[in-house]
Amino acid sequence: MSSTVLSRAHKAPLPTELPPNAGRAATGIFIVLIAQLMLVLDATVVNVALPHISTDLSFSPAGLSWVLNGYTLAFGGLLLLGGRLGDVFGRLRVFWLGLAVFTLFSFVGGLAQSAEMLVISRALQGVGAAIAAPSVLALLTTSAPDEAARNRALALFTAVSSGGGALGLILGGVLTDLISWRWTLFINVPIGLFVLLTVRRFVTETPRRPGRFDIVGAISATGGAVAIVWGLIGAPDHGWGSVHTIGALALGAVLIAVLAVTERRVAHPLLRPSLLRSHDRVASLAIMAMFYGGMMAMFFLMVQFLEDDLGFSPLTTGLAFLPMPLSIFTLARITPRLVARFGQLPLIVVGTTGMTLGFLRLAALGSGAGYVDVFPSLLTLGISAGLTFMPITSLVLRGVEPEHAGAASGLLQTMQQLGGSVGLAVIASVYAANAVPGDFLHGARSGFLASGILAGLALVSALSLVARRMPRRAPRAVLD
């Protein structure tokens, strides 16, 4: 697979007139992207508010992690199901329903008066996000009036998806310091209502794909993903060799095996095996998972470094991440043109190389390091993400039939969430195993090194894609 088709599309003469529906389509894309940003922000927006949440609602140290994990568990575990629901019942309809659930429980979570109420609300937010998110990418690609608009929409989607995590830390710090931690949840309500009230006017419903719903596939895919995420999230607390961790991972593996067998036999599978027959798509999904895992782990470690070691307030901590979203959103305007000129693979190789170097630089932080020492890495990581995520998304979706776009989008975002969970669980365990009381950087350096290894594996996967495209030499004739 190469970028020839994409490149030709960009090299074709530009139209002299806009398509008749270009204005409506652009507005629809903007509205859907606002919803995507809100869903992505919620994975990190409460991070810097956790100390305030713990004080107000009397969380235990172990229980506090479920403010984040409850959302991640539901989101990562139900994404494939959400993608299939969109394919069968119509993506706009399913997107609207999921966003309504997300908005409602954002409001309920902001009103929470107990730890249990907040965790349940966060989990139900994750359910709504999982239902809505897979339809986002499909709606963007079907709303674009032409190939150029589609590539711009993909670039903006990947900028929002990759930069939203850092932006969530900034927004969380601002809201927590200036108003209250509750507004990290309340902020979703007016945004969600705006999208719910306007999206049907500017986005066209996709055709429904009638067919029997794959109940066994839905149960095994959802149960398998939930079990794996559950096991990985609990691994730092229970230990990698504990019954909890091994049992959850084993159950997840069994259910995924059931899914694999089922999807080969049913007429309308939840996850089409054909999506995983492409080496390029599988390698791209692996790159996305490892990239996202390293990023989520970096946020986890860097917030603690800035607040605990450097004494930053939540607001200052959030602002310290500005180099990342600024560079990602800036590159969103440039990346489509770079893809048109050079293709996806050179950008992915450059981005994964930059990510690896950024993490290794953090792993080399010395005692007494300050913000000036981490700023270059944050900038490098932001630029690397901006260069990489759009080409990866393009490769994953390329060649997918329109009726399966929701399933492919759900698979991509599932790999992001599972990658984030795996990366965070592994790197948190590495950090904990090397932690020294009173010296945060002693354990953090090991954690950053583990992030660098993940990024290095992503680079190896990218190079495997390059190697497959290298022309093979014809065998020399044997002379007698």
Check: CB of residue 424 under 8 Å from CB of residue 296.
yes
50-97 tens-digit pLDDT: 778 888 888 765 566 678 778 877 887 787 788 778 877 888 888 899
Q: In sequence order, what are the beta bridge partners of 439?
A: 436
273-290 average pLDDT score: 81
Query: Is the confidence at residue 21, as pLDDT, over 60?
Result: no
* Nearest CA among 218, 424, 396 for reference residue 303: 424
Check: CB of residue 77 under 8 Å from CB of residue 252.
no
% of the chain residues with pLDDT over 70 = 82
Q: Output the pTM of the full model.
A: 0.72
221-278 tens-digit pLDDT: 778 877 887 787 777 677 778 898 899 889 989 998 888 888 777 777 766 777 777 7
Which pLDDT score, from 0 to 100, does residue 392 have? 84
294-337 tens-digit pLDDT: 887 888 788 878 877 888 887 888 888 888 888 887 887 788 78
Which pLDDT score, from 0 to 100, does residue 63 have? 66
Check: CB of residue 136 under 8 Å from CB of residue 95.
yes
Query: Is the confidence at residue 427, as pLDDT, over 60?
Result: yes
Alpha-carbon gap, residue 250 to 256, rounded angstroms: 10
Alpha-carbon gap, residue 78 to 74, rounded angstroms: 6
Which pLDDT score, from 0 to 100, does residue 97 have? 93
Alpha-carbon gap, residue 27 to 7, rounded angstroms: 26
Residue with tokens 């398509």: 19
* Nearest CA among 103, 101, 85, 95 for reference residue 38: 103
436-471 tens-digit pLDDT: 777 788 888 888 998 999 999 989 988 888 877 766
Alpha carbons within 13 A on the beta-carbon side of 382:
25
Which pLDDT score, from 0 to 100, does residue 250 have? 93
Which pLDDT score, from 0 to 100, does residue 24 have? 66
Query: Is the confidence at residue 125, as pLDDT, over 90?
Result: yes
Tokens of 256: 């995924």
How many other CB atoms are found less than 10 A from the CB of residue 244? 14
152-191 tens-digit pLDDT: 777 777 677 666 767 787 888 888 888 888 998 998 999 9
Residue with tokens 């190079």: 463
How many other CB atoms are found less than 10 A from the CB of residue 331? 26
DSSP 211: S
Which pLDDT score, from 0 to 100, does residue 476 have? 52
Which pLDDT score, from 0 to 100, does residue 58 have? 82
Alpha helices (H) in 65-214, listed in sequence order: 66-89, 91-110, 115-143, 147-178, 183-186, 188-202
349-362 average pLDDT score: 92
Check: CB of residue 67 under 8 Å from CB of residue 118.
yes
Q: Which comes out higher in pLDDT, residue 193 or 69?
A: 193
Return the SS3 of 379. Answer: helix
Which pLDDT score, from 0 to 100, does residue 12 have? 42
Which pLDDT score, from 0 to 100, does residue 228 have? 81
DSSP 207: P
- CA distances for 381 relative to 74, 267, 282, 322, 431, angstroms: 28, 43, 23, 12, 20
Which residues lie closer than 8 Å to 465 by C-beta, 6 or more apart?
Answer: 279, 280, 283, 284, 345, 348
Confidence band for 479, pLDDT divided at 50, 70 and 90? very low
